[in-house]
Amino acid sequence: MTIKPDLSQPIPKDLGKVHFVGIGGSGMSGIARMLIGAGHQVTGSDVRESSNIAELRKLGAKITIGHDEKNVEDCDTVVVTSALWPTNPEYLLAQKLGLPILHRSQALKYLTAGKRLISVAGAHGKTTSTGMIVTALTELGVDPSFVNGGVIQAYGSSSASGKSDLFVIEADESDGSFLYYDTAVALITNVDPDHLDHYGSLENFEAEFARFANGAGEFVAISSDDAGAVRVSKLITKEKVITFGFAEDAVVRLVEVDASGAQVKFTVSFEGQNYATELAIPGRHNAINAAGALAVLVGLGFPADKSLAAITKFAGTERRFELHGIRGGISVYDDFAHHPTEVTAALQAARAVVGQGRLITVFQPHLYSRTRLFANEFAQALAASDEVVLLDIYAAREDPEPGVTGELIAKAFVNQERMHYVPNWDDVPGAVAQIARPGDFVITMGCGDVYRQVPGILKALES
């Protein structure tokens, strides 16, 4: 079992030399990048090389591959994530030395001090919605700071320091740390059941979202359609609540959506005026994300027409239906989707792009608890694919559970001829190459390390 974040740990006024245990993740690397920009000396460690680590090294960070006690011997503050195991040697030595050990949310709170904070939360859609808000604010002439859970393609980064007082963050609900920030504006994309291993029940999960909303200093923007969000809305006591979605009474209302092509087109209604537009990215879910971003912007006082035009400049984030290459007429994409609702949305968007081509999904389940709870839902969502190559579970922060493997999803799949369970990592590229033919679209999917299969798949397709 991984560590529980101790948010009672006081944040030092000066972090000094900061060491990140697990520095390569999007969130951790983004925070590290901003601390470097603020003048801090930054070191870090991780289990493997990555593009994030390469970029941080260019900025002056000293990063070690592998965890070792010596990595923390010369630092003032240690930053960790909830995915850290309590047996980690760097964590243990930091405890022994009495060093301040901050959860990454505390490091982020340190960076956002004195800023007008826009916190984006929800079971899914956070990274894209955050990217849309950041892009739109920039287009509207504001220079926001931001820390996102994924790289915004237009900026080539998951974080940046801006000159304005606005700071946009992706607020993580998985461990409850989204409650920790001094949020001015709260955007709740949805409250789809997830992370119930942490919260214990759906009621607790939704109650924490209500706490998050009610803690916002200015206003809340929340989905009018998601069932969980509707229940949370009834618990919100804030005076200013801006709903968005398809519901007749939504403040920012989606009138119609055409998600049949590579660029989703939609019309949104606000204060009696209709605005038609299209995004540079596909998917009905992204029209909903855009409506949420628009709710934030009009809540901040920006004109609806200019705000919507600014949102359309958003060109996507990495690991969200991202094309990596074409080999032998077979296109290979990667996507971060890891919850049944996300998988459904991602495959619907992919289907609009692939047209008549076959869709081959290479899916890696994430977490034993999520797989156990949603095996049937994953099987149903993956059925939108023409073929499925299913990997075993990426454990992340969890211990193995007896009897819980990727095979639970495989057995629940409706058409066994289209399901290919490949638990051996090294066998995956070959399995994909055997199935794929010219005109097909292959999409690796999951929030673990399934993206590392892409180079091998491209190579296998070449041969």
Catalytic residues: 126-127, 170
Q: Tell me the three-class secondary structure of the chain, residue by residue.
A: CCCCCCCCCCCCCCCCCEEEECCCCHHHHHHHHHHHHCCCCEEEEECCCCHHHHHHHHCCCEEEECCCHHHHCCCCEEEECCCCCCCCHHHHHHHHHCCCEEEHHHHHHHHHCCCEEEEEECCCCHHHHHHHHHHHHHHCCCCCEEEEEEEECCCCEEEECCCCCEEEEECCCCCCHHHCCCEEEEEECCCCCCCHHHHCCHHHHHHHHHHHHHCCCCEEEEECCCHHHHHHHCCCCCCCEEEEECCCCCCEEEEEEECCCCCCEEEEEECCEEEEEECCCCCHHHHHHHHHHHHHHHHCCCCHHHHHHHHCCCCCECCCCEEEEEECCEEEEEECCCCHHHHHHHHHHHHHHHCCCCEEEEECCECHHHHHHHHHHHHHHHCCCCEEEECCCECCCCCCCCCCCCHHHHHHCCCHHHEEECCCHHHHHHHHHHHCCCCCEEEEECCCCHHHHHHHHHHHHHC
How many Å apart are CA 212 and CA 457, to the nearest integer?
42
Q: Which amino acid would we find at residue 350?
A: A
* Bridge partner residues of 276 (DSSP): 267
Specify the long-range contacts of residues 448-452, CB closer than 8 Å, at least 24 apart.
448/338, 448/364, 448/366, 448/394, 448/396, 449/364, 449/394, 450/334, 450/362, 450/363, 450/364, 450/391, 450/394, 451/319, 451/334
Cβ pair 254, 291 in contact under 8 A: yes
Torsion over CA: 195, 200, 206, 211 (sign): negative
Q: Tokens 């740990």 appear where?
A: 9
Backbone angles phi, psi at 373, to 5 degrees: -75, -35
Tokens describing residue 246:
């398809």
